[in-house]
Amino acid sequence: MADEFVDKVFEAVELAKATGKIKKGTNEVTKALERRTAKLVVYAENVNPKEIVMHLPLLAKDKGIPCVSVPTKEELGTAAGLSVSCAAVAIVDEGDAKKLIKEITASLSKGKEEKKEEAKEEAKEPEQAKENKEE
């Protein structure tokens, strides 16, 4: 599932690059987030030092913009049409990638709901264990 999701993200970046508009690099992505022009933010997990991109998911959450991480900056750079690696990309104009971005956003929302359900279940387990001890 994770590989399919990452492939969809790269495909969306490639499509937006060809038919829409993207911003490349941490500074450009940060500006797009602050201006709320970004439709989707993608950042690489293997950036070193991590502090370069650590603020992006927090800022994206604050602005209500979907944010996704991908394993490598080299692959992200390739998807963005660059010959070098890229730490972050923001899709500003979706172009033909509109449908893909909707699917990615829906997957992210679904994942968040599943995490909430898991957290609720974990919170109930200690209570049930206490009740069983008291009996």
* Cis-peptide, bond into residue 49, ω within 30° of zero: yes
pLDDT in tens, 92-108: 998 888 888 888 888 88
Domain count, the chain: 1
pLDDT > 70 in the chain, percent: 84
Q: What is the largest CA-CA distance in the chain?
A: 66
Could you tell me the CATH number of the domain that includes residue 75? 3.30.1330.30
Instruction: Report the side by side order of strands in the sheet with 40-44.
Output: 21-24, 88-93, 40-44, 67-70
Tens of pLDDT along the chain (135 residues) come to 477 888 888 999 898 889 889 999 999 999 999 999 999 999 999 999 999 999 999 999 999 999 999 999 999 999 999 999 999 999 999 888 888 888 888 888 777 666 667 767 777 666 555 555 555
What is the domain extent for residue 106? 2-134
